């Protein structure tokens, strides 16, 4: 494993590669402001997190997560990741609205790669090969949907993530109708006949 150190902390990083993993976290961040090609843009964003079968030296499982724009447009990075994970393309009906909560408890192979700071990040996900199973979750499932707000789940998040969510207009409008990923166009971001997993 890659071990990263700085003056304030010491933490373990799994080595780049592919790992069996199970989704345990979906966090709706609401609409976040960012920049694309010099212009300010606003995008609904989510965090998807996985628990890896690989363990740290203390016996706890490694976890990995990634930020995604909540869009199933062809230019999004969420759509190809999900289609690779499930092993099939989305149907037109599914593109009209897909509930990300369906991912919780589902397993896949997570690809981890190194970023410029030599920390691992999620490079992609693919369908679990036959005969291989994902880890049984040790971490508690975390699911925050701003349209079905749960205060206890929100309170359990890190201060940094809570601060991001508090900046979103959705946080100010807690209790609105259910939110689902749509195929609405978003700015670009960095088929088998088998059973569809979700």
Among 56, 59, 54, smallest CA distance to 21 is for 54
| Residue 161 in this model has a pLDDT that exceeds 90 | yes
Q: What is the rounded average pLDDT of the residues 63-69?
A: 95
Q: What is the CA 100 to chain-centroid distance, rounded?
A: 9
| Residue-wise pLDDT tens digits, 166-184 | 999 999 988 544 444 444 4
Place 198 in a pLDDT band, splitting at 50, 70 and 90: low
- Do residues 160 and 49 touch, judged by C-beta distance below 8 A? no
**What DSSP element (H or E) covers 114?**
strand 107-114
**What DSSP element (H or E) covers 147?**
none
Q: Give the C-alpha separation, 68 to 108, whole Å.
A: 17
Q: How many residues does the chain have?
A: 198
The pLDDT, as a whole number, for residue 8 is 43
| Residue-wise pLDDT tens digits, 2-24 | 333 333 445 788 899 999 999 99
- Do residues 38 and 25 touch, judged by C-beta distance below 8 A? no
Place 38 in a pLDDT band, splitting at 50, 70 and 90: confident
Tokens read off for 25:
């976290």
Tokens read off for 17:
């590669």
Place 189 in a pLDDT band, splitting at 50, 70 and 90: very low
Q: Is the dihedral of CA 168, 171, 177, 179 positive or negative?
A: positive
Portion of the chain with pLDDT greater than 90, in percent: 63
CA atoms within 13 A on the CB side of 133: 4
Among 33, 48, 30, smallest CA distance to 166 is for 30
**What DSSP element (H or E) covers 151?**
helix 151-155
The pLDDT, as a whole number, for residue 9 is 46
Q: Give the C-alpha separation, 88 to 127, whole Å.
A: 9
Q: What is the rounded average pLDDT of the residues 96-120?
A: 92
If you average pLDDT over every residue of the chain, what do you get?
84
Q: What is the rounded average pLDDT of the residues 114-142?
A: 92
């Amino acid at each position: 494993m890659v071990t990263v150190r700085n003056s304030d902390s010491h933490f373990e990083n799994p080595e780049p590669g592919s790992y069996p993993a199970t989704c345990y976290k979906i966090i709706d961040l609401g609409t976040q402001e960012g920049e694309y090609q010099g212009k300010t843009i606003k995008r609904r964003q989510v965090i998807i997190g996985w628990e890896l079968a690989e363990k740290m030296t203390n016996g706890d499982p490694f976890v990995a997560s990634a930020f995604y724009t909540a869009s199933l447009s062809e230019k999004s990075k969420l759509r190809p990741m999900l289609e690779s994970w499930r092993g099939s393309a989305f149907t037109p009906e599914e593109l009209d609205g897909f509930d990300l909560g369906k991912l919780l408890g589902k397993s896949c192979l997570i690809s981890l790669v190194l970023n410029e700071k030599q920390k691992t990040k999620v490079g992609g996900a693919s369908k679990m090969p036959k005969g291989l199973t994902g880890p049984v979750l040790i971490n508690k499932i975390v699911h925050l949907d701003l349209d079905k707000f749960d205060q206890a789940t929100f309170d359990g998040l890190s201060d940094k993530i809570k601060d991001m969510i508090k900046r979103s207009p959705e946080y100010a409008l807690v209790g609105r109708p259910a939110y689902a990923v749509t195929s609405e166009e978003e700015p670009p971001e960095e088929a088998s006949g088998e059973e569809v997993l979700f």
